[in-house]
Chain A
Amino acid sequence: MVGLSLGEKHFIQGGIAQDIRSDGRKRLTYRPINVETGVIPQANGSARIRMGATDVISTVKAELGKPISLQPDKGKVSIYVDCSPTAAPMFEGRGGEELSTELSVALQRSLLGGKSGAGAGIDLSSLVVVEGKICWDLYIDCLVVCSDGNLLDALGAAIKAALSNTGIPRVQVAAGASGDEQPEVDISDEEFLQFDTSDIPVIVTLTKVGRHYIVDATTEEESQMSSAISISVNRKGHICGLNKRGGAGLDPSIVLDMISVAKHVSEQLMNKLDSEIAAAEAGEDES
């Protein structure tokens, strides 16, 4: 996939070992992040995130649905990722399906918590309109427009930005519906509720190349990785999800070390992302 000569491979590995990467970054430095919100007006919320050449769009659509009977007090959220063939010719047709599924599952694991939804970054109980009868279904659709490594972190950031951009219409429930009847609802066109996105975790992927690990790897660097761990950390510093990729085995002590580094990096990323999102929202309001 990535055509690198032996010299180039050595250059990338050597650079990482000496803490100065091919683009001049240190091992734990992110590329500049560019956030744009409200890019898809047809959706309830949307955002486009660019990290270097990686470019992803995330949208949130809300539809009224029925909560599942096991969890009558919770709404539903589903995340789908689609890899556009514009990102790489190999994603044409069904070529991107495997990567899309891998990313979707990893995002669901990182952001939505387990089956019970107890550990979710998004407060699912805030999506309920009438308990057991009506709730909001959030469909989060992501599109990879251009891929230059570190897709998972970018997608996680894009979802966070899209959710802070999301307005859910206020719903008036007609009183008087009793028993098993589905109550009538009136969806407001003017009043929107904002989400509390402060609890939504950010995802930090540490890619291990040689004996060291780096954040925000480019495609070239990812091609040299032995393994990678994606850790989602929320503002409180709690780990919300973990995902290991790559074949090589890791020593448990290294895993723990990587987690503590990821926790440290996530604070910086979270702050940077929050300020970028705030700037993008302010820019959108002005225009």
Chain B
Amino acid sequence: MEFVSPEGLRLDGRRPMEMRQIRAEIGAVAKADGSAVFEMGNTKVIAAVYGPREVQNRSQQINDQALVRCDYSMANFSTGDRMRKPKGDRRSTEISLVIRQTMEACILTHLMPRSQIDIFVQVLQADGGTRSACINAATLALADAGIPMRDLVTSCSSGYLNSTPLLDLNYVEDSAGGPDVTVGFLPKLDKVTLLQMDSKLPIDIFEKVMQLAIEGCKAIANYIREIMLENTKQLEYRRGI
């Protein structure tokens, strides 16, 4: 199947190095301490953060740092075909773990000993790149909750189809069987915190593809920063400062 046309356009009309349209909104869940919606094209996720608060299960309490927990769930209607999924299947457990580890790496957990931070991500629509969208949403939600972080971790995926590196794969491109590189990146510290790839790639091409994903992460970080600035201005305005 042809994923990049001779004119250099992808199936959904994007250029190879073009990201889907991203949109973010802070404060989507009124009752949570912090929350955000993040959309990448048709992929749409909600993240809610509760905490830092008292540890629910005493045996999990850590005396010198905060306990970070994460739960990833997909809505029944999120995929094209309706699914009746069992809760806690292997895929969502794995993604929960990935998100938890990524967020734990950037939260300053040592500042909040003996407390717990819960991150819940809910996929409303899945069209490829849910992992990345969830991490971006979680970052915004954590920032909204006012949880101290080293940096704003952002994530983006990229792939390699028809001998072209492609940024931000959608579902059709993702299921084409080519390599799918997901990168989590700390833009200020210039460090990669998450790196996953399936399928195989020569090393020199992998370098290119990874670099592309990193560029994507940087672009998302800029956007997230803008959204947060806008949100803070709104808060400032409402307080009448």
Contacts and interface: CB of A to CB of B under 8 A. Distances in A.
Given A40-B77, A85-B73, A146 B30 contact: yes
Interface in A68-87: 80, 82, 84-87
B36 to A, nearest CB: 11
A61 interface: yes
A141 interface: yes
A86 B77 contact: no
Contact of B75 (A41, A143, A147): A143
Contacts of B76: 80, 82, 139, 141, 143
B77 A148 contact: no
A245 B42 CA distance: 39
Contacts of B88: 93-94
B82 A61 contact: yes
Interface of B: 28-32, 35, 42, 46-48, 50, 56, 71, 73, 75-80, 82, 84, 87-88, 118, 120-122, 124-125
A89 B50 contact: yes
A43 interface: yes
A141 B46 CA distance: 17
Contact of A86 (B47, B78, B79, B82): B47
Interface of A: 39-43, 46, 52-53, 55, 57, 59, 61, 63, 80, 82, 84-89, 92-94, 97, 139, 141, 143, 145-148
B125 A42 contact: yes
Contacts, number: 88
20 contacts: A39-B124, A40-B77, A41-B125, A42-B80, A43-B77, A53-B31, A61-B82, A85-B48, A86-B122, A87-B48, A89-B50, A89-B56, A93-B71, A93-B87, A145-B28, A146-B29, A146-B30, A147-B31, A148-B30, A148-B31
A269 B118 CA distance: 36
A31 to B, nearest CB: 12
Given A85-B73, A141-B77, A57 B124 contact: yes
A147 B82 CA distance: 24
A53 B30 contact: yes
B159 to A, nearest CB: 22
B18 to A, nearest CB: 21
A191 to B, nearest CB: 21
A190 B120 CA distance: 38
Given A82-B75, A82-B76, A84-B73, A89 B118 contact: yes
A33 B165 CA distance: 47
A93 B56 CA distance: 15
Nearest to B44: A40
Nearest to B29: A146
B71 A87 contact: no
A57 B120 CA distance: 17
Closest 3 CB pairs of A and B: A53-B30, A86-B48, A59-B77
A43 to B, nearest CB: 5
A143 B125 CA distance: 12
A55 to B, nearest CB: 7
A52 B28 CA distance: 12
Given A42-B78, A61-B82, A87-B29, 20 more contacts: A39-B124, A42-B77, A55-B28, A55-B30, A57-B124, A63-B82, A80-B84, A85-B120, A86-B47, A89-B120, A93-B87, A94-B87, A94-B88, A97-B87, A141-B75, A141-B76, A143-B75, A143-B76, A148-B30, A148-B31
Given A42-B80, A57-B124, A145 B42 contact: no
